[in-house]
């Protein structure tokens, strides 16, 4: 008899392994009868997972950590036996802001430090004119998008809490909000950056891989208590996701067709395939840019959870005043990412040298043994209340 599961997801390309696991039958082979439930907001996904309406979820990695720490909501310990995506986000800006940034640019347009400094000059000029602060959107306060956007903004000396406005929008609403002038830019996952560009309403300024070389994005999340009671089911789900991730990398065309369905992501398959191939149109004039690091799903050990990634995410929560770092908090955060569950399910072990040190375009290399020292190196921060 199949095990029935309800799993929530947001219409994003980094849900690919989860969607393909169901739609290509990999979950069924593992004895799982999965109902995928499409949601609009991350708060919905988090809340339904936490109270048990979902057995598992496509979830922002920082939300899993925040839930386990009890930050911003009730405390519900979460574990992630599978990483659904590395990278995959981009920063997109309106044509007006893009022109302003290019007008102030001193350096390579793809260098995030050069654009961050250009942003600082734009912000200063707007302030002198008495103009309203620029408004940037991200998907959730506890999100990689928030931290990546802030990391870039702050590198140029702009305070993301004082000098610009940051607002929260669900990913599917980003492109329309940019088109209507409600926001000047946003950081979101695929395909919503490409949607804005294809409509002529935005320019992709940076791939997140310009900001951070390798950043954990979404995880397959389950409640810790549920995982402990359903060890076999967690292993089966992990195996199904792993087979699906391999399929995603091997057949991007069919994956794109699957994801394009109205009840999955619901955008043109060609846009999704470009995303999976790391080949994106970055401007309405058709300018293309390619990166083999834009989104990693099943290659380069992307699916195996890395607790160091969780430690970095905790450091960003602390940098922006959402929490403080302590040995207990660090241990709790790192325990969310469970490579041991991944290895047990797949019969694998830690790959030698498969991942690189956690590096970004600014600041020192992240040292999990000295998080406080890492944070002290940044000039723009926010203390926890």
Summarize the confidence of residues 117-133 as an average pLDDT: 97
Q: Say if residue 356's pLDDT is above 70.
A: no
pLDDT at 65: 98
- Among positive and negative, which fits the CA dihedral 160, 161, 165, 171? positive
Q: Say if residue 90's pLDDT is above 70.
A: yes
Instruction: Establish if 272 belongs to a structural domain.
Output: no
Q: Say if residue 131's pLDDT is above 70.
A: yes
Summarize the confidence of residues 93-112 as an average pLDDT: 98
Residue 97: name the closest of 132, 130, 148 by CA.
132
- Give Cα 318 distance to the centre of its chain: 18
**161, 244: one domain:** no
pLDDT at 279: 95
346: which residues sit within 8 A by CB, 6+ positions away? Answer: 238, 239, 242
Instruction: Establish if 332 belongs to a structural domain.
Output: yes
**189, 257: one domain:** no
Tokens standing for 68? Answer: 């386990």
Cα 38 from Cα 44, distance rounded (Å): 10
pLDDT at 355: 54
Instruction: Establish if 353 belongs to a structural domain.
Output: yes
pLDDT at 353: 57
Expressed as residue numbers, the domain containing 95 is 89-211
**234, 204: one domain:** no
Tokens standing for 35? Answer: 């109902």
**102, 170: one domain:** yes
**135, 219: one domain:** no
pLDDT tens digit sequence for 317-338: 999 999 999 999 999 999 999 9
| CATH code of the domain covering residue 116 | 3.40.190.10
The total domain count for the chain is: 2
Cα 261 from Cα 267, distance rounded (Å): 8
Q: Say if residue 302's pLDDT is above 70.
A: yes
Identify the domain boundary among 190, 211, 232: 211
**226, 358: one domain:** yes
Residue 259: name the closest of 20, 86, 34 by CA.
20
**38, 176: one domain:** no
327-336 and 307-319 are packed helices; what angle lies between their axes, rounded to 10 degrees? 130
pLDDT at 385: 58
- Among positive and negative, which fits the CA dihedral 283, 284, 285, 291? positive
Summarize the confidence of residues 251-280 as an average pLDDT: 96
Percentage of the chain beyond pLDDT 70 is: 98
**144, 132: one domain:** yes
Instruction: Establish if 334 belongs to a structural domain.
Output: yes
Summarize the confidence of residues 237-250 as an average pLDDT: 98
307-319 and 144-155 are packed helices; what angle lies between their axes, rounded to 10 degrees? 60
Cα 270 from Cα 263, distance rounded (Å): 17
Task: Using the CB atoms, write b or e for 201-219: b if 16+ within 10 Å.
Answer: bbbbbbbbbbbbbbbbbbb
Instruction: Establish if 280 belongs to a structural domain.
Output: no
Q: Categorize the per-residue pLDDT at 1 as very low, low, confident or very high, splitting at 50, 70 and 90.
A: confident
**199, 139: one domain:** yes
Identify the domain boundary among 171, 195, 211: 211
């Amino acid at each position: 008899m199949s095990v029935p599961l309800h799993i929530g997801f947001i219409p994003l390309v980094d849900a690919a392994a989860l969607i393909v696991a169901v739609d290509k039958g990999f979950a069924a082979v593992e004895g799982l009868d999965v109902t995928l439930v499409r949601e609009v907001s991350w708060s919905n996904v988090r809340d339904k997972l936490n109270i048990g309406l979902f057995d598992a979820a496509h979830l922002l990695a920082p939300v899993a950590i925040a839930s386990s720490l009890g930050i911003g909501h009730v405390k519900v310990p979460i574990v992630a036996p599978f990483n659904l995506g590395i990278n995959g986000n981009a920063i997109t800006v309106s044509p007006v802001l893009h022109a302003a940034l290019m007008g102030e640019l001193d350096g390579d347009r793809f260098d995030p430090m050069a654009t961050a400094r250009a942003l600082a000059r734009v912000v200063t000029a707007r302030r002198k004119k008495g103009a309203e602060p620029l408004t940037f959107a991200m998907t959730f306060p506890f999100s990689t998008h928030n931290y990546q956007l802030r990391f870039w903004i702050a590198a140029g000396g702009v305070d993301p809490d004082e000098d610009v406005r940051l607002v929260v929008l669900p990913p599917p609403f980003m492109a329309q909000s940019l088109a209507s002038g409600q926001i000047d830019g946003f950081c979101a996952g695929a395909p919503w950056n490409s949607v804005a560009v294809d409509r002529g309403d935005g320019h992709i300024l940076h791939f997140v891989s310009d900001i951070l070389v390798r950043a954990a994005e979404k995880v397959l999340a389950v409640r810790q208590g549920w995982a402990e009671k359903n060890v076999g089911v967690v292993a089966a789900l992990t195996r199904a996701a792993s087979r699906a991730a391999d399929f995603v990398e091997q057949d991007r065309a069919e994956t794109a067709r699957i994801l394009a369905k109205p009840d999955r992501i619901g955008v043109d398959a060609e846009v999704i395939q470009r995303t999976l191939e790391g080949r994106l149109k970055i401007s309405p004039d058709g300018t293309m840019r390619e990166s083999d690091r834009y989104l990693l799903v099943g290659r380069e050990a992307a699916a195996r959870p890395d607790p160091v990634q969780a430690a970095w995410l905790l450091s960003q929560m602390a940098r922006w005043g959402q929490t403080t770092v302590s040995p207990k908090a660090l241990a709790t955060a790192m325990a969310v990412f469970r490579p041991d569950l991944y290895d047990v399910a797949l019969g694998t072990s830690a790959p030698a040298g498969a991942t690189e040190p956690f590096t970004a375009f600014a600041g020192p290399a992240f040292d999990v043994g000295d998080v406080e020292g890492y944070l002290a190196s940044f000039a723009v921060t926010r203390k926890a209340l």
